[in-house]
Amino acid sequence: MLKKAWLVAAALLGAGGQMSESQLVIPNYLFWDDKRLKQQIADLRDDFTATSRPIFQEWKPGALTIAIKWFAAKYDQWVETNDPIFVLGRVHEVEQAIGKLAVRKTKDCPPYAQVLLQGFTSPAIRHPEYHLARDLALLYNLYLDCEEINDDAQRRKKQHTSEDSQSLGRSVILCCFNLLESFLSGIATAYVMEHPDAPEATVAMLKDNRLSLRKKMLLFPGIIAGSNVVLKDTEPPFKRLFGECKERRDSFVHCEPGPEPTKWGYIKEQRFHDVNRSIVSETVTLTCDAIGIAWKMVHKKESPTWLPQHNAAGRFDRVRLSLRPIEPSAP
């Protein structure tokens, strides 16, 4: 049991690169003599304590037996899957079983996020918002690359096409609104998980899938923060975000060719084709601003650590939501 527990703790720290092949194998202890076995037990207990200590916010020696049993049981489940990728559990479940995770001190990990083992080298925390934020960063950086290529071709008066850029632009805008949907569902789900005694009316509101994205954006942060503040869609960043920016998104998702205007007064076909750099960049900026405003209302701090930030070049920096420190890149 101790060896199994230690192996899972090592996987949680991504310590595989520091382990020999023999350390990854569980010996047949039935053939060991008592003296050797007792020494192994003592060594493994010390190793497990030292290895698992950094995983927790606060290490409690009294919880050692519980942690060993829980980790060992997870090892057995992992082996049964015959897959290096294994979901250890959701953050909320893991913390209920063994205590608060240290990663929560430095990274924003919602309670529904999955604690993921990927062999012994790359443990991670994963949740939809993090991956959609990475999608957005990748797509937007690629979009800017494509725009630069077009600009260069135009300067050199070379034949080029903007269709690739338009495709990426549409993808960026769609990703922005997908991220907003996921973010709002996320803060609502986190609140319900962490407040089991919340009023039924509040829970019903936060779980109401009939509400539009706009209404969720305006209502949810105040409800969750307990302030009942309603954000206004007549003010920035929401006015433009749920105005012309969302008109593009709706034109992509619910495309209607032809010159007929919608009941809101714009022509979807025009919005579909009008995907210029200004509207793409504005949608990205306003999406990040909206998330930042909501996050500050709910958590009393600036934007979440999983949301990449613009650098001096106007691009997104890389974010990696791992359970272990990011190693410096090679020069």
DSSP labels for 167-231?
Answer: HHHHHHHHHHHHHHHHHHHHHHHHHHHH-TTS-HHHHHHHT-TTS-HHHHHHHHHHHHHTS----
Residue type, 74: K
Residue 321: its pLDDT value, please?
54
In angstroms, the CA 280 to CA 106 distance is 31
The tokens describing 181, both together, are: 């949907």
Beta bridge partners of 115: 89, 125
Strands 85-90 and 114-118: antiparallel
Residue 236: its pLDDT value, please?
93
Domain range summary for the chain, segments of one domain joined by +: 2-126, 128-299
Residue 319: its pLDDT value, please?
58
DSSP one-letter code for 117: E
Q: How far is CA 73 from the centre of its chain?
A: 27
Beta bridge partners of 139: none
The dihedral of CA 306, 311, 316, 318: what is its sign? negative
**Crossing angle for the helix pair 64-81 and 2-12, nearest 10 degrees?**
80
Q: How confident is the chain (331 residues) per 10-residue block, as mean pLDDT?
A: 89 82 81 87 84 80 82 94 94 90 88 93 90 95 92 83 91 98 97 94 94 96 92 95 96 93 91 94 96 96 90 77 44 28
Residue 322: its pLDDT value, please?
55
Whether cis (ω within 30° of 0) applies to the bond prior to 111 is no
> How many Cα atoms are found within 13 Å in the side-chain-facing hemisphere of 167?
7
Report the candidate in 303, 266, 323 with the shortest Cα–Cα distance to residue 121. 323
Residue 153: its pLDDT value, please?
86
Model pTM greater than 0.85?
yes
Q: Is 280 helix (H, G, I), strand (E, B) or coil?
A: helix
Residue 99: its pLDDT value, please?
86
- With tokens 């803060």, the residue in question is 187
